Structure 1
């Protein structure tokens, strides 16, 4: 007989409680194998693709695109014995010996026992089960030997991920469209035409309040970033200092290096020089690379630098890390930064890549901005804003000449970093950018 299992939404990173369903890669009736990607979700940290934990046939999607689902909630039903070859009794997956949890491909499901979750006002009521025993609360998987009948879920519109993103950005409901592509697939043209299609005549000519407004739910990366910034701004006493630097020697060195065999195929940006300066200067002022641990009543000094790079993406601000940046050469840093930026732009930064940073750079210069007052990334003690590099008049040996000039802004946690230490660190970073040869003295 058929053997049905329900796959619960797993915790893809420490402490996550919910995620939004972005895109289903399967539909009822599709055959799946272990490790096939079945769904893309957006957590508070990043977009994540979830693999299938079993071989079988999809029988039902339990959460529609756009719905926010709590960790541990079943999202898909799979018949793992469509040919009916296994025993009619069925067996549940083996539990992890350590904590009584079931291991799966993307971590562990919730612990067994009563679920302790906050009540969601917008969560739909549990669907009744017409046949077979009801699954235990928060169980990582349910195995039954009779068909499970649940409340119907809205049909998932057929559309490729770029089309789904376009519709989301434009506020178009894909469920209201008829696809013109092969097999009824919704195309980009279908979405664009939905915006220009004449609307039904209104009953009244009176203006509709809010008709020129667009409301977007606060969730995913945006929600997590907002909470983190509020927590940081109102927990760590911020101090921000500024420094204007003549970076002409750095730009001249960059031009020379780009013509050498070692750097010919490397994207060598000013950010790479700033990253090198940040990690070198941290050797002389280790306080900027430390963490305030209020719970333990300790300041934790890190013997490594996991360098965070603030990146603006279509999903919002993310801060992936370059691990052990202090051990990298300038060339290695340049390559790592390029790979990090590409991954972030493609929305492929994983939650693990954004954990455990020690100090951060935000490159506002790429937007033509001179400087700002950056907010410290939670769990860290300092963040450097790198401004735009401009041609400016500068006094050299008593003469005003055009130079390449950049502004730096350093925000630091005054619980960990005193004014003297913060000032010395910013001065060291500036000196390394103004004269890269200074690095020989570090």
Structure 2
């Protein structure tokens, strides 16, 4: 049989039984460890049997028990918890554990879920889409309207299927676990029957620290950025910068925001307090430009060949990547924060990487550590100015559309002329910022009260 038994499927999918009854699914995360949902264990004495369903008998079942202190039922919050870590006896070295992987953005992700409903002892696969957050969980909606995440899907792995990968090597990476299913009490509207929920790996790792060391890939946010010690005791977060960051994170205003925040300052505290609003946060201090490009590409987790094309683009060594899969836009527009480009090993080259990143539609926060330097002007010119220009063009198009069919002078003509002439200004970035403010005011006036 070798090191790994031949699996018909992903190999890590488990079927949980107690007394001959199927309780749900599980995820093999190590030869002697499995994840499942806490509610799948309801009504049992903790003695379970785990079947390695995808091996068709080539791997014998294991006994399973919850590890002490590792059952986290739903907490006081309506959508949190519901995980359990199981110990397997004997461990099965021939079975393939799941590749666990964080991703920066769940909304819109295409996923594949394998559970064990009553009508299919060998299991059933369901394709679904991650719709959006639901407390600490995320809502799942099956692509096929007749499919339901019913009993038997509890504890199932939620695997990344962004490129319609079904099974072959390498197996799809697991992003989370199904924690709820539809309970048909006869009173639930039909449309609600289609939804389920998953708990993402990040939250599982917080609830079960043993799982954290098994998750592959770098953390989406550099830990060093969160470990801020105020330069002066009693320093509070800068309220003005905090408000700007909140607006930017919510999608208001231009996609690129530049800010200076010396380490340990009130502005730095405002920056770190808002890190939970970004999908990726990197500390560029001391980094070479190639290292920064690689770190960004690694955290965005684009499937191949898009990942390599994306990294080459960031390094300035390739054409603009066509980030589409069979006509479907890949989920790139995330919020990224990069701190310390001015203290990088190659500061100007680091700005080049950030310029390329912003050109792909990412909302980008650039935090510089040294205020009052010429590097700030260079960052404005190289990174902020192109993004502002594109943002202003979009606003001009919106004004043109709103003025269509109206009588009187056209504001769009004057604004478009100002946009065309901004390069001739002494401070093009200041001109573009003011123009964007005026265009937003034009749009608000033309749209009227809402």
Asked whether the two chains share a fold, i.e. TM above 0.5, the reply is no
CA radius of gyration, larger in = 1
Q: Which has the higher contact order (CA 8 A, sep 6+)?
A: 1
- The structure carrying a bigger helix percent of its residues is 2
